[in-house]
C-alpha cells in the first residue's frame, strides 16, 4: 500500500471504531436525534466558519460542544415535549442554517460541499493522530464508567433519578460525542455521519445478545464501513462518504435478514 494512503486508512478506521462505539449508546437509548442533532450542529459551525474565513474544525467544535451540553440537560421525557421532539426541531433549524450558508457563499462552494459530503482523502498524519487519540479516549471513558453508561443505556429515566453523578457522566459522554463528531466531520460529512452513527450499532443489536458482544460488533462494523467504503470508492471512483454509508447500510440490511432468518428457525 502506498504511504500516501496510510493516514487516510488509519483516519477512516479510527473514525469507524469511535462512531461505532458511540452508536451503541445513541441507538440503545432510543434517542437517535441526539447524534443527528450534535453532528448537524458541528456542520453548522463548520460551514459558517468557512463562510467567514475561519477554521471550520474550530467552528464545528464550538457549536457541537454547546449542543452536546444543552442536550445533556434536556429531560429524557416530558408530557408536553420529550427529548426526541426537541432535538428533531433543533435538527430542522440547523439544516435550514446550513443551506442558508451555502446560499450565501459567493465564491467557490467546494469547501462547504466537502463538509456536507465528506472526503477522507484529505486526511493527513495529524488528522490520523488526533482521530486515534479521540478513539482511545472514548474507549477508555466507556471502560472506566462502564456501569454508569450501562445504567443510562438500559433506563435513561432511572439513571437520571439516581443522582448528579450519573448525570455528570452523561454530560461528559455527550460532550465527548460532540468533539468526536466535529473532528470526524471532514472525513465522513455532516449529511452522512448520522447514518454511520446508527447503522453499525443497529446491525450489532440485530445479531448480538449481550452488551459486550454488541459493543465489539458495532465497533467492527464501523471499522468495516469506513475501510471498505474507502477502498470501494477508490476502486470505482465514487464519493468516499457515500460509499461508506452504503456499506454500513448493507451491513444493517444483512444483519436484519440474518436476525429474521434465525428467529424463524
- Number of C-alpha atoms within 13 angstroms, CB side, residue 203? 26
Distances in Å between the Cα of 82 and the Cα atoms of 41, 49, 77, 105, 149 are: 19, 31, 4, 36, 21
Query: Would you state the pLDDT for residue 27?
Result: 87
Query: Would you state the pLDDT for residue 158?
Result: 57
Query: Would you state the pLDDT for residue 223?
Result: 94
- Written in H, E and C, the secondary structure of the chain is CCHHHHHHHHHHHHHHHHHHHHHHHHHHCCCHHHHHHHHHHHHHHHHHHHHCCCCHHHHHHHHHHHHHHHHHCCCCCCCCCCHHHHHHHHHHHHHHHHHHHHHHCCCCCHHHHHHHHCCHHHCCHHHHHHHHHHHHHHHHHHHHCHHHHHHHHHCHHHHHCCCHHHHHHHHHHHHHHHHHHHHCHHHHCCCCHHHHHHHHHHHHHHHCCCHHHHHHHHHHHHHHHHHHHHHHHHHHCCCHHHHHHHHHHHHHHHHHHHHHHHHHC
Query: Would you state the pLDDT for residue 111?
Result: 66
- The architecture CATH gives domain 3-194: Orthogonal Bundle (1.10)
Give, in degrees to the nearest 5, the angle at Cα 37 between 188 and 82: 150
Extents of the domains making up the chain? 3-194
Q: State pTM to two decimals.
A: 0.84
Tens digits of pLDDT across the chain (265 residues): 567 778 888 998 999 999 999 999 888 877 666 777 787 888 888 888 888 888 888 888 898 888 887 777 765 555 455 666 666 677 778 878 877 887 787 766 666 666 676 667 667 888 889 999 999 999 999 999 888 888 777 765 555 555 567 778 888 888 898 888 888 877 777 767 878 889 999 999 999 988 899 999 999 999 999 999 888 988 998 878 788 889 999 999 999 999 888 877 6
Amino acid at each position: 500500500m502506498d504511504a500516501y494512503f496510510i493516514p487516510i486508512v488509519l483516519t477512516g478506521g479510527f473514525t469507524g471504531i469511535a462512531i461505532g462505539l458511540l452508536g451503541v449508546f445513541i441507538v440503545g437509548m432510543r434517542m437517535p436525534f441526539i447524534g443527528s442533532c450534535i453532528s448537524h450542529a458541528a456542520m453548522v459551525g463548520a460551514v459558517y466558519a468557512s463562510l467567514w474565513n475561519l477554521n471550520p474544525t474550530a467552528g464545528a467544535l464550538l457549536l457541537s460542544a454547546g449542543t452536546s451540553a444543552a442536550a445533556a440537560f434536556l429531560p429524557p421525557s416530558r408530557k408536553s415535549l420529550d427529548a426526541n421532539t426537541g432535538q428533531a426541531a433543533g435538527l430542522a433549524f440547523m439544516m435550514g442554517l446550513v443551506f442558508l450558508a451555502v446560499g450565501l457563499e459567493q465564491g467557490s462552494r467546494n469547501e462547504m460541499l466537502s463538509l456536507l459530503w465528506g472526503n477522507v482523502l484529505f486526511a493527513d498524519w495529524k488528522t490520523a493522530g488526533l482521530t486515534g487519540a479521540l478513539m482511545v479516549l472514548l474507549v477508555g471513558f466507556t471502560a472506566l464508567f462502564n456501569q454508569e453508561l450501562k445504567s443510562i443505556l438500559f433506563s435513561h429515566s432511572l439513571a437520571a433519578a439516581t443522582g448528579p453523578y450519573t448525570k455528570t457522566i452523561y454530560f461528559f459522554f455527550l460532550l465527548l460525542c460532540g468533539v468526536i463528531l466535529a473532528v470526524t466531520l471532514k472525513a465522513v460529512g455532516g449529511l452522512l455521519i448520522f447514518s454511520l452513527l446508527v447503522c453499525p450499532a443497529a446491525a450489532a443489536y440485530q445479531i448480538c445478545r449481550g452488551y459486550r458482544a454488541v459493543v465489539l460488533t458495532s465497533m467492527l462494523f464501523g471499522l468495516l464501513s469506513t475501510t471498505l467504503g474507502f477502498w470501494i470508492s477508490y476502486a470505482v471512483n465514487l464519493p468516499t462518504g457515500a460509499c461508506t454509508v452504503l456499506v454500513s447500510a448493507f451491513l444493517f440490511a444483512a444483519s436484519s435478514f440474518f436476525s429474521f432468518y434465525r428467529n424463524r428457525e
